[in-house]
Amino acid sequence: MSLYSSAVKRPIFTALVFVGVAIIGLFSYTRLAVDLFPDIETNMLSVIIAYPGASASDIETNITRPLENSLNSCENLKEITSQSKDNMSIVSLEFNYGTNIDIATNDVRDKIDMVKSSLPDGISTPIIFKFSMDMIPVSIYSATATESVNGLYKILDEKVANPLNRVTGVGAVTVSGAPQRQVQVNVNPERLESYNLTVEQIAQVIAAENLNVPAGSFDIGTETYSLRVEGEFKASEQLLGIVVGSQQGRNIYLKDVATLNDTIETRVMESYTDGVKGALVVIQKQSGANTVSIAKDVKKIIPELQKTLPPDIKLTLLMDSSDFIQQSIDSLTETILLAAIFVMFVVMFFLGRWRATIIIILTIPISLIASFIYLMAVGSSLNIISLSSLTIAIGLVVDDAIVVLENITKHIERGSTPKEAAVYATNEVGVAVIASTLTIIAVFFPMTMATGLAGVMFGELGWTVTIMIVVSLICALSLTPMLSSQMLRLTNTQGRFFDRIHAPIKVFLNKLDATYAKMVNLCVRNRWKTLIACFGLFLLIMIPASQLIKVDFMPASDNSFITANVYLPTGTRMEVARATALKIDSLVREKCGDVFRTLSFSVGQADEDNTMAALQSNASNLISFRIRCVDPEYRDVSIYDVGDEMRNIMENMPEIYKYSVSPGGSGGMMGQGASTVDVEIYGFDLATTDRIAAEMKQRLGEVKGLRDLFISRQDYRQEYQIDFDREKLAENGLNSATAANFVRNRINGSYISTYREEGDEYDIVVRYDEVYRQSLQAIEDITVYNAAGAAIRVKELGKIVERQTLPQIDRQNRERIVKVSGSLYKAALSDVVDGVNNVIDEMRAEGKIPTEIGIQIGGSLEDQQDTNADLGLLMLLCVLLVYIVMAAQFESLTYPFIIILSLTFGVAGVMLALMITGQPVSLMSMVGMVMLIGIVVKNGIVFIDYANLNRERGMSIDHAVIAAGRSRLRPILMTTATTVLGMIPMAIPRGTGSEMWQPMGVAVVGGLTLSTLLTLLYVPALYSIFGANGVKRTRKKLKKAKLKA
Amino acid sequence: MKTVFIPYNQAYKDRILTLFDNLNIRGFTLWETVQGRGSRRGEPHYGDHAWPTLNSAFLTVVPDEKVDNLLARLHEMDAATEAQGLHAFVWNCEKMV
């Protein structure tokens, strides 16, 4: 027994099956996480090796290069970049999308083991660092304080970070920008010398005193006691009382040679929020946790935590990644609802029966809900991709039900009872419905096989739409006939009120049918003219389009977030940077303060032992701004305008060396922030590449649409170096290492012991008092002791010279690289790339680029080229599959060809729509085009199928075409209208994040509208041409056969 | 005894069965799918792409007195929905075991 007849015979069973699906689906819906994108597995690994004391170029030769050479042979490796900076080498590996990163990690570990023996001895254990999207903070709070600044770290750590850590899903909570407590022992070198003591001795004595030692256990009588020596300091003042040495029989106490300062660290990153100093509380999620719910929970708990804090500490939300997600998801949900309502009106308009409309519309919620089950089953989330797939599918899922219901209605009108009509009418169109659904699947299913970035983005889209379409097909073959058998009535009236409203529509539709039949008649009579007119129109659109339309990668969206980095001249003191930052802060606030929700910045250098900080750039001369604006609907300027304003302000501040403003945050991937263009200059000689980069930057400044030009290479740093004379060292029984260590312990300090209090540990640092660390003279006067105990001044061992060094050397694909990068503004990527290429060619022509220097364009362009290649392949695959499905259905090779031609008009329609809306061709509009392949051919299939049927029924070719036109106009217009109107809410820019999928909506609406209009004209013409040729051929054959006979 | 052969559009099946029950006609033979076309105006019923509808056919042997009533009721059914297609042919049944 077939699906539909059993469904009709067992209405309760059928209804309950779908109710069951709905319940499971709704249950899944409540369990679905909400996120911005589908889970994208990381494809980046970094290997971090520390080599204390080595300069950037030492690191490059000794660590980075051997490491790169070994790691380069990893499988699936896409790109290898490295940074060699003072004390540290960071090699970053980018793998192809879809690579199993765990296997890659093992591979990398093996490769490191192989090369480890040839690396220097003093290196730290290599750290393999996996960067994933999960590490992007969920939210950042700032804590401002006035009186409590000194204890801020401890208070935040205990009262904020610890409770937040207990929130489900929260991975790590870090407090930064709050200085930690430190016990400083500041020694006076003059006294030290007079007592014949050294910093090292003092440090060792402190370490030796500050110790708890278990001394074992012993028995007294019947009991066993353990014996301990508790030497640890109970209070920091006790330090002053320890004996550090003796002279002439008298004890020398620490207080005789040093002062004690129980205070907070001096060199730290400071952060200011809305002009008030404070710390940052950064909240990261566990991998796979729900960003939106974490942010919600955190928001809920923060006011409670606020109550436990001292009154002067204020917690303010700085960044909340869930905001943008929630808003995008909300506006997409609205889009889905709007689409559903539009579709409902279309069905009502054409059918004029409310019962029929209800039956058809029911397929929408059922297929929507079924897709939630899929999302739940694969562990995905409600995200931009899955929700926009739902919007796309809404217009498509009703098509099958419409065809089935239309045929059932026809049978009822001819006299069948609804029950019989439901079975037999569904039987009649079942195969045709399956075939037309297959063409749609032929387009969306290959998307699941796409690779690269496109695969990540569209895999889920492909699956979701495929599943929804399949569910809608099942629905159309079971639920629709069942409901029709129960609900449809053999009457022509729908209630007096409804009839009155629908009467004019009916008249209009009948007139439309008649007019179109006349037009088809005309087309068939003037076949070639019609064809020429259609393709003429195609050329008329495509020729200006190829000139006017730009190519872009990802549309930039407004996520209310701006970051900016401001560099002062290298070596500027943090205090100066702070003053400048406050000045910028007030100037910016004056100009556009009303759109800011919070404005925060951080200055200064982060801790050396902070891995996260090692990956970010921080220096005493760098100011990083983080600005959160109010939601787009509450302001009339975009973040790009605000960015411009900030640029203007900084342009006029002479103290700023360079700056970059990134509205939307940095990046350009995934539709957040602007696209970037990088000019990569490869070459070993630093001076040459510096020169080229500088010139390139200047020339690129003149390219229209490109700004925020930035040279990636850091500036040479002014520094002092002590050049020890090796002979003198040797004469005094010293070597460079011991001498250097002496200097280091006096300036940087010796961190040999920790002070414990209430379970927390604080560093005890022993070094020269600050007044003895402030001049070159003081450094020259540092005394170094040799093994014999003789004191020698640094100035006797060598001299201090001023030099410039490069603090960091960047490499990419095993070559030194300088990148000149700029971000795009109100210009299409294609234009800017042309401009950049011109500049490169000019410089080549002028002989300014030596042959050994390689130049390449990277940035968004690279991503775009990769993705375009993937999409191109995908399109080809889709067209082939669709052709195969159609050829199989029609058992013919010519008819599918006629239909495939409608794709050209689809492309023309996309171009026309993009021209009208003034948008560039972007990744999203390309996806729209891929989708069109499946949608556009549907109209042709419906038309030709019916024309064939008419011919089989014995009509002449022309009559068959005209009759098909008259009968199929409504179904074609109806299915097209549902798809187009379903997409219109997407094509209209509304709300946060809509910039991203708008091009896709515009592409589908434009392409489908134009191709449908032209399909209705050129298909009859072309069909009759092919048909006439076929008839001629048969006649010729008959003639030949007759002649032979 | 008369033999009545009723080829009809599939959609009539349930209604004809009810009619048989009403008229107390117990025995019949049913061909679920048969193809054919009407002699005057009726559309073909081939179950193919061009003519997707199909016919079924009943063959029943009834006492002479029931025939007229049966035919009248069938004609009534056909007249109400002419587009569907229904015919009935009657001939003598010679013998039966």
Q: Which of B9, B56, B77 to mutate to test the interface with A (most CBs of A within 10 A)?
A: B9
pLDDT tens by residue, A742-771: 888 888 788 878 888 877 788 888 888 888
**Integer angstrom CA distances of residue A444 from A367, A699, A935, A1011:** 16, 45, 10, 20
Better-predicted residue by pLDDT, A1 or A633: A633
Backbone angles phi, psi at B3, to 5 degrees: -95, 130
Between CA B54 and CA A447 the distance in angstroms is: 41
Q: Which residues of A touch B78 (CB under 8 A)?
A: none
Q: What is the DSSP letter of A891?
A: T
**Integer angstrom CA distances of residue A500 from A234, A306, A413, A495, A970:** 94, 64, 21, 9, 21
Between CA A271 and CA A153 the distance in angstroms is: 13
Between CA A38 and CA A41 the distance in angstroms is: 9
A1007, A932 Cβ separation under 8 angstroms: yes
pLDDT tens by residue, A107-128: 999 999 988 888 888 788 888 8
pLDDT tens by residue, A418-428: 888 888 888 87
The alpha carbon of residue B10 is apart from the nearest alpha carbon of chain A, in Å, by 8
Between CA A653 and CA A655 the distance in angstroms is: 6
Mean pLDDT of chain A: 84
Question: Is beta strand A258-264 parallel, antiparallel or unpaired with respect to A250-253?
Answer: unpaired
Among A88-102, A653-667, A723-737, the minimum mean pLDDT is found in A653-667
Kindly state whether B97 is in contact with chain A, defined as any CB-CB distance less than 8 angstroms: no
Domains of chain B: 2-92 (3.30.70.120)
Q: What value does the mean pLDDT take over residues A812-839?
A: 82
Listed in sequence order, the residues at least 6 apart from A829 whose beta carbon sits closer than 8 Å to its beta carbon are A550, A551, A552, A553, A675, A677, A860, A861, A864, A920
Nearest CB to B83; choose among A415, A948, A952: A415
The alpha carbon of residue B75 is apart from the nearest alpha carbon of chain A, in Å, by 14
* Contact criterion met (CB < 8 Å) for B11 and A949: no
The alpha carbon of residue B44 is apart from the nearest alpha carbon of chain A, in Å, by 9
Percentage of residues in chain A with pLDDT exceeding 70? 94
pLDDT tens by residue, A656-674: 888 888 777 654 334 445 5
Instruction: Label residue A332 exposed, middle or buried (CB < 10 Å: 0-12, 13-18, 19+).
Output: buried
* Contact criterion met (CB < 8 Å) for B50 and A421: no
**Predicted local confidence at residue A394, as pLDDT:** 85
* Count of A-B CB contacts under 8 Å: 40
Nearest CB to A952; choose among B10, B49, B54: B49
* Contact criterion met (CB < 8 Å) for B83 and A428: no
pLDDT tens by residue, A603-640: 877 654 444 454 555 677 888 888 888 877 777 777 87
Between CA A521 and CA A517 the distance in angstroms is: 6
Q: Which residues of A touch B10 (CB under 8 A)?
A: 420, 424
Better-predicted residue by pLDDT, A274 or A731: A731
Q: Which residues of B touch A427 (CB under 8 A)?
A: 52
Among A50-59, A104-113, A217-226, A774-783, the minimum mean pLDDT is found in A50-59
Residue carrying structure tokens 């699936």: A76
Of B33, B79, B37, B75, the closest CA to residue B56 belongs to B33
Query: What single letter denotes the amino acid at residue B56?
Result: S
Q: Which residues of B touch A417 (CB under 8 A)?
A: 11, 14-15
Residue A390 pLDDT > 90: no
Rounded to 5°, the CA angle A639-A640-A643 comes to 85
Listed in sequence order, the residues at least 6 apart from A485 whose beta carbon sits closer than 8 Å to its beta carbon are A8, A11, A418, A419, A421, A422, A423
Complex ipTM? 0.80
Between CA A913 and CA A999 the distance in angstroms is: 10
Q: Which residues of B touch A424 (CB under 8 A)?
A: 10-11, 53-54
Q: Which of A420, A941, A967 to mutate to test the interface with B (most CBs of B within 10 A)?
A: A420
Of B21, B86, B25, B12, the closest CA to residue B61 belongs to B25
The alpha carbon of residue A416 is apart from the nearest alpha carbon of chain B, in Å, by 6
A459, A447 Cβ separation under 8 angstroms: yes
**Predicted local confidence at residue A607, as pLDDT:** 54
Kindly state whether B79 is in contact with chain A, defined as any CB-CB distance less than 8 angstroms: no
Q: What value does the mean pLDDT take over residues A288-295?
A: 80
Q: B9-30 burial string, b = 16+ CB within 10 Å, else e?
A: bbbbbebbeebbeeeebeeeee
pLDDT tens by residue, A851-896: 888 888 877 767 777 777 777 888 888 899 999 988 988 888 889 9
Residue A276 pLDDT > 50: yes
Instruction: Label residue A772 exposed, middle or buried (CB < 10 Å: 0-12, 13-18, 19+).
Output: buried
Percentage of residues in chain B with pLDDT exceeding 70? 100
3-state helix, strand, coil in chain A (%, to 5): 60, 20, 20
Nearest CB to B81; choose among A414, A429, A953: A414
Q: Which residues of B touch A411 (CB under 8 A)?
A: 11
Extract long-range pairs of A792-795: CB within 8 Å, 24+ residues apart: A792/A732, A792/A734, A794/A722, A794/A739, A794/A743
Q: What value does the mean pLDDT take over residues A145-151?
A: 78
The alpha carbon of residue A4 is apart from the nearest alpha carbon of chain B, in Å, by 15
**Integer angstrom CA distances of residue B29 from B4, B13, B60:** 10, 13, 6
pTM exceeds 0.95: no
Counting as low any pLDDT under 70, the low residues of chain B are none
Kindly state whether B65 is in contact with chain A, defined as any CB-CB distance less than 8 angstroms: no
* Contact criterion met (CB < 8 Å) for B50 and A949: yes
Of A37, A49, A289, A74, the closest CA to residue A814 belongs to A74
Residue A42 pLDDT > 60: yes
* Contact criterion met (CB < 8 Å) for B81 and A416: yes
The alpha carbon of residue B92 is apart from the nearest alpha carbon of chain A, in Å, by 31
SS3 letters for A236-282? Answer: HHHHHHCEEEEECCEEEEHHHHEEEEEEECCCCCEEEECCEEEEEEE
Q: Nearest residue of B to residue A415 by CA position?
A: B81
Instruction: Label residue A773 exposed, middle or buried (CB < 10 Å: 0-12, 13-18, 19+).
Output: middle
A123, A51 Cβ separation under 8 angstroms: yes
Q: Nearest residue of A to residue B11 by CA position?
A: A420
Widest pairwise Cα distance in chain B: 43
Q: A15-47 burial string, b = 16+ CB within 10 Å, else e?
A: eeebeebbeebeebbeebbbbbbbbeebbbbbb
Write out the two tokens for A612: 């996260």
Give the three-class secondary structure for A790. Answer: coil
* Contact criterion met (CB < 8 Å) for A417 and B11: yes
Q: What are the residues of chain A with a beta carbon less than 8 Å away from any beta carbon of chain B?
A: 411, 414-417, 419-421, 424, 427-429, 948-949, 952-953
Q: Which of B49, B54, B55, B86 to mutate to test the interface with A (most CBs of A within 10 A)?
A: B49
**Integer angstrom CA distances of residue A818 from A274, A583, A680:** 35, 31, 6
**Predicted local confidence at residue B61, as pLDDT:** 94
The alpha carbon of residue A42 is apart from the nearest alpha carbon of chain B, in Å, by 52
* Contact criterion met (CB < 8 Å) for A421 and B11: yes
Q: What is the DSSP letter of A180?
A: P
Residue A270 pLDDT > 80: no
Write out the two tokens for A883: 């052709």
Q: Which of A1, A4, A416 to mutate to test the interface with B (most CBs of B within 10 A)?
A: A416
pLDDT confidence tier of residue A468, bands split at 50, 70 and 90:
very high
The alpha carbon of residue A508 is apart from the nearest alpha carbon of chain B, in Å, by 27
Q: Nearest residue of A to residue B54 by CA position?
A: A424
**Predicted local confidence at residue A454, as pLDDT:** 67
Between CA A441 and CA A397 the distance in angstroms is: 12
Q: Which residues of B touch A403 (CB under 8 A)?
A: none
Kindly state whether B77 is in contact with chain A, defined as any CB-CB distance less than 8 angstroms: no
Give the three-class secondary structure for A114. Answer: helix
Backbone angles phi, psi at A965, to 5 degrees: -60, -50
Nearest CB to B11; choose among A416, A429, A948: A416
SS3 letters for B54-97? Answer: CEEEEEEEECHHHHHHHHHHHHHHHHHCCCCCECCEEEECCCCC
Q: Nearest residue of A to residue B12 by CA position?
A: A416
Listed in sequence order, the residues at least 6 apart from A517 whose beta carbon sits closer than 8 Å to its beta carbon are A962, A965, A966
**Predicted local confidence at residue A373, as pLDDT:** 93
Kindly state whether B73 is in contact with chain A, defined as any CB-CB distance less than 8 angstroms: no
pLDDT tens by residue, A890-913: 888 889 999 998 899 999 999 999
Give the three-class secondary structure for A808. Answer: strand
* Contact criterion met (CB < 8 Å) for B52 and A427: yes
Widest pairwise Cα distance in chain A: 141
